[in-house]
Structure 1
């Protein structure tokens, strides 16, 4: 694929523009709670930033935090995913079952319906699992309001299961066409005496075991340093199980971002300028500055992609002393590359390049210097 991100279509943006009305229909908010919403959003943001692990069940328990999550974090997550999901090859067919881990308010299910109209009429079953059932129930009501379907009707069958991530995977052995999750892996922690590497290698084994022979695995995490590392560790574990990166990686060798000397991480940025006006207004009233949104992700399966001599753009443009055009850092099968003449390429672009026999190294980062292939 030439890029992993695409500007959301007019139809997607139209649904997001009206999503506040969908929320109000499914989860009515009283006037007093509306006035408090920006403060609730700011408080929840601080809580999520300062604490990791064990949070998922706790912040669903208070109506104030629940409302803040559903009206702020959920729509921002849908906006991020609406840039990504249209570009991915997700080969779902009638009769397939999807396991959605750590579903929360059914973020992935909502995003898939929003972003992939080609899948809306397929006979699909979604097994949505989480340790807390309340957010999933709210999410199902919101989904039904957005999709305009009566409860329990429509081609998508949604089953809510309250259980741990590990139990969900064990109970799904060899059944799933897709194992997926959005913003869930970053909430996991290693057991006592267990390294992060061991934790995610074990998880990758269980993910692979839950898939059918032709199944796929897709996880999307926040575009933070932690999110990027977790995606890299999951990728390494899946490679051990014979699952190859379909996106975003342009290769199947070791992830260069896991090198202890790596200064960056794998993530992709999108402008926040095209998010719904009501959401940007709420963001501003919560005194939160959001010019960009970002994500880290991995799509893997046993299919063998045709990797070529190209690089995947990761960074924003950077100024290189002595050069007129800006460069961008990118991922390649040879490691991190510094792609010159890259100012016009977007984050996530796949670029054909010309490798030199002995490429120069960037003095600052050690990245291999490379240029786009001349046409």
Structure 2
């Protein structure tokens, strides 16, 4: 299952996978006006104003792999040769095989046979290039994703191919390696499943831990499994399934969400990962909505359960996350260049949803005595929680030497902006960062005339409406 951002490179440079459009509205030089006494413009902070304090940051989408994980990623090609050897002639031919596979998976998608990975040469090219890149993506994602499991849990990977997702979880989460877990790995290609299991066992042996149990299941989505599972996942599967534009993507998402939920225990987690392009991001947004109807609420990357502000519909912004590939394995970058598929950034779209938690017993209310101050503060903080904003875009240039970032929040799409020190801070915020800001009064927020996003200015923040009312003097 390819990641759709694999394209032939642009003339004069490598492709920028999933890079959002630059929203350049005014020149900017490091978030501040140029030296030489340029006048203050666009609301730059006045001299002697309150110093900028960076907001609290919550868990980001991506994190750098640990040393052990990075070592396994770096050695993946050599480990794959131990499982699927290549002679010198096939090694020399590998870049061309990868290029041909890329052409088949992108330009000739409608003509591709479903069992394409049963061909040994195709499977070899897929593992050395596509699987390697997908491992880089998923390991960075799993390094922060709140996947919680316990001994004896059973998991399912649908459209597993060569077990990319279970391998990525093993690499990224050393704390889970000691748990006895069982995976149902489902795919139409028995050859891919077999090669993937051998790869997984080889990598597990490198870590010195007892491997998880792998149950290979040849079949497609909907194939029955022996038991319901605690974790249902699919990575880069659905983009291969809805090639027919005559099929309603809304109906398709609803039916696939029902199938995913049918495998899951009531308190299970469900993960859907797709390439970070508009069409698949639109599908992920619809899957988020459909899974909510099945009783599975979004836990990541969404900081809320409200309507998705980035649905990826025609002409609208889409939810995807990108990272720089500078830290990717050198062997992978070299092989990509040889195949003419070099990249400086990689992208994905995903939704991680959880089922209803165990019922919580209500706390008995006090029937006498005054409420203590600590309880009152706790109750008030729950009534007016901070606003969490998941950063979706690259930094954009705004008038007045300001910098902005588009973000997702429970009040909708927002454009977080700042000048001077706030601009410098926003410049270094990576895609997928999560900022915790004072909750604004939505009625008092202006809208960006270009995107319609609500404007939140880090360096001109106002206290929440509730606080403003409390600070007013009493009428006499």
**Partner Cα separation in structure 1 for residue 111 and residue 201 of structure 2:** 29
**Partner Cα separation in structure 2 for residue 53 and residue 217 of structure 1:** 28
Check if 1:67 corresponds to 2:124: yes
Cα displacement (A) at 1:268: 0.5
Aligned partners of 1:353 and 1:371 also within 8 Å:
no
Alignment equivalent of 1:338, drawn from 410, 415, 427: 415
| Corresponding residue of 2:395 | 317
**Cα distance 1:211–1:53, how it changes in 2: closer, same or farther (>3 A)?**
farther
Alignment equivalent of 1:154, drawn from 210, 230, 233: 210
Cα displacement (A) at 1:303: 4.5
Aligned partners of 2:183 and 2:212 also within 8 Å:
yes
Q: Which runs of 5+ in 1 are unaligned?
A: none
Cα displacement (A) at 1:273: 0.7
Q: Secondary structure at the match of 1:254?
A: coil
Check if 1:277 corresponds to 2:361: no
Cα displacement (A) at 1:263: 2.3
**Cα distance 1:22–1:2, how it changes in 2: closer, same or farther (>3 A)?**
same
Of residues 78-87 and 222-231 in structure 1, the stretch that sits farther from structure 2 once superposed is 222-231
Alignment equivalent of 1:248, drawn from 301, 304, 310: 301
**Partner Cα separation in structure 1 for residue 433 and residue 269 of structure 2:** 22
**Partner Cα separation in structure 2 for residue 89 and residue 83 of structure 1:** 13
| Corresponding residue of 1:263 | 316
Q: What do the CA deviations read for 1:235-284 (whole angstroms, capped 9, x no partner)?
A: 01011112110000011111122274652211111111111111100011
Of residues 276-285 and 257-266 in structure 1, the stretch that sits farther from structure 2 once superposed is 257-266
| Corresponding residue of 1:83 | 140
Aligned partners of 2:142 and 2:172 also within 8 Å:
yes
| Corresponding residue of 1:353 | 437
**Partner Cα separation in structure 2 for residue 17 and residue 192 of structure 1:** 39
| Corresponding residue of 1:125 | 182
**Partner Cα separation in structure 2 for residue 237 and residue 279 of structure 1:** 36
Q: Secondary structure at the match of 1:21?
A: helix
Cα displacement (A) at 1:193: 6.8
Aligned length: 368
**Partner Cα separation in structure 2 for residue 349 and residue 193 of structure 1:** 37
**Cα distance 1:259–1:107, how it changes in 2: closer, same or farther (>3 A)?**
closer
Cα displacement (A) at 1:58: 3.8
Check if 1:104 corresponds to 2:157: no
Aligned partners of 1:53 and 1:189 also within 8 Å:
no
Cα displacement (A) at 1:231: 0.9
Check if 1:362 corresponds to 2:448: yes
Greater relative contact order structure (CA < 8 Å, 6+ sep): 2
**Partner Cα separation in structure 1 for residue 445 and residue 296 of structure 2:** 31
| Corresponding residue of 1:166 | 222
Aligned partners of 1:125 and 1:156 also within 8 Å:
yes
Q: What do the CA deviations read for 1:152-174 (whole angstroms, capped 9, x no partner)?
A: x9341101010111224xx466x
Of residues 35-44 and 103-112 in structure 1, the stretch that sits farther from structure 2 once superposed is 35-44
**Partner Cα separation in structure 2 for residue 271 and residue 143 of structure 1:** 27
**Partner Cα separation in structure 2 for residue 54 and residue 109 of structure 1:** 29
**Partner Cα separation in structure 1 for residue 444 and residue 323 of structure 2:** 34
RMSD: 2.4
Cα displacement (A) at 1:48: 1.2
Alignment equivalent of 1:231, drawn from 284, 292, 295: 284
**Partner Cα separation in structure 2 for residue 359 and residue 336 of structure 1:** 12
Aligned partners of 1:351 and 1:372 also within 8 Å:
no
| Corresponding residue of 1:205 | 258
Cα displacement (A) at 1:109: 0.7
| Corresponding residue of 1:300 | 353
Q: What do the CA deviations read for 1:31-82 (whole angstroms, capped 9, x no partner)?
A: 1111111111111112111244674734313322221101011010000111
| Corresponding residue of 1:286 | 339
**Partner Cα separation in structure 1 for residue 311 and residue 259 of structure 2:** 22
Cα displacement (A) at 1:308: 4.7
Using the size of structure 1 for normalisation, the TM-score is 0.92
Aligned partners of 2:392 and 2:432 also within 8 Å:
yes
Check if 1:38 corresponds to 2:122: no
| Corresponding residue of 1:14 | 71
**Partner Cα separation in structure 2 for residue 70 and residue 53 of structure 1:** 22
Using the size of structure 2 for normalisation, the TM-score is 0.73
Cα displacement (A) at 1:321: 2.4
Cα displacement (A) at 1:149: 7.4
Of residues 205-214 and 281-290 in structure 1, the stretch that sits farther from structure 2 once superposed is 205-214
Aligned partners of 1:325 and 1:343 also within 8 Å:
no
Aligned partners of 1:353 and 1:370 also within 8 Å:
no
Aligned partners of 2:295 and 2:356 also within 8 Å:
no
Aligned partners of 2:288 and 2:298 also within 8 Å:
yes
Q: Secondary structure at the match of 1:319?
A: strand
